[in-house]
Amino acid sequence: MNFEQLDIQGAFKISPNMIGDNRGAFARVFCADAFAAQGLQTNWVQMNTSISVNKGTVRGLHFQRAPHCEVKLVRCVRGKIMDFILDIRAGSPTFGVVCGAPLDASKMEMLYVPTGCAHGFQTLTENVELHYSHSEFYTPSHEEGVCILDPDLNLELPLAVSEMSERDKAHPTLKDTRPITL
């Protein structure tokens, strides 16, 4: 596996080593030893799937507050997305930094979202499916978000927004979001 450090401390784009032949392809997409060698969380307690029908759909930026802060491992299993992470950790050297990375299902790519960061994405194709591994259980009373359209984030969506929930549009800006203390 190739672990590419992103602009946010502790965030990685992960690309497996694919082996292919006339039958198709094989790749190891998770190995606790390989993740541990990078100092990454490997205890997943919940796995979720998200399906977005329309190209240009935006979801996020979502996170959970303590004591339910979580690490996410996001894998695009159908289609392509532009994935985004926002560091909202108090005292982090990369606080307020947003980074994006394209994920392509045909390449089996993943994004490692560290604790204390918000996550969101935009679909680049129709019929996108994501698989999420979580280090903490989903706890609605601790879920929050930052508006992905906050102009102060300087986040450039690659496409016009075709779909976005009213809830995601109503999330506060980064300035109006209390940082996460770990």
Helix (H, G, I), strand (E, B) or coil at 34: helix
Residue whose C-alpha is closest to residue 97's, from 114, 110, 80: 114
Distances 171 to 39, 102, 113, 133 between C-alpha atoms, Å: 32, 24, 20, 23
Q: Which of 112, 119, 132, 171 is catalytic?
A: 132
In the residue annotation, 131 being an active-site residue is answered as no
Residue whose C-alpha is closest to residue 148's, from 71, 85, 90: 85
DSSP category for residue 179: P
Q: Which of 62, 119, 134, 171 is catalytic?
A: 62
In the residue annotation, 62 being an active-site residue is answered as yes
- Cα–Cα dist 117/86, whole Å: 5
Q: Hey, which residues are catalytic here?
A: 62, 132
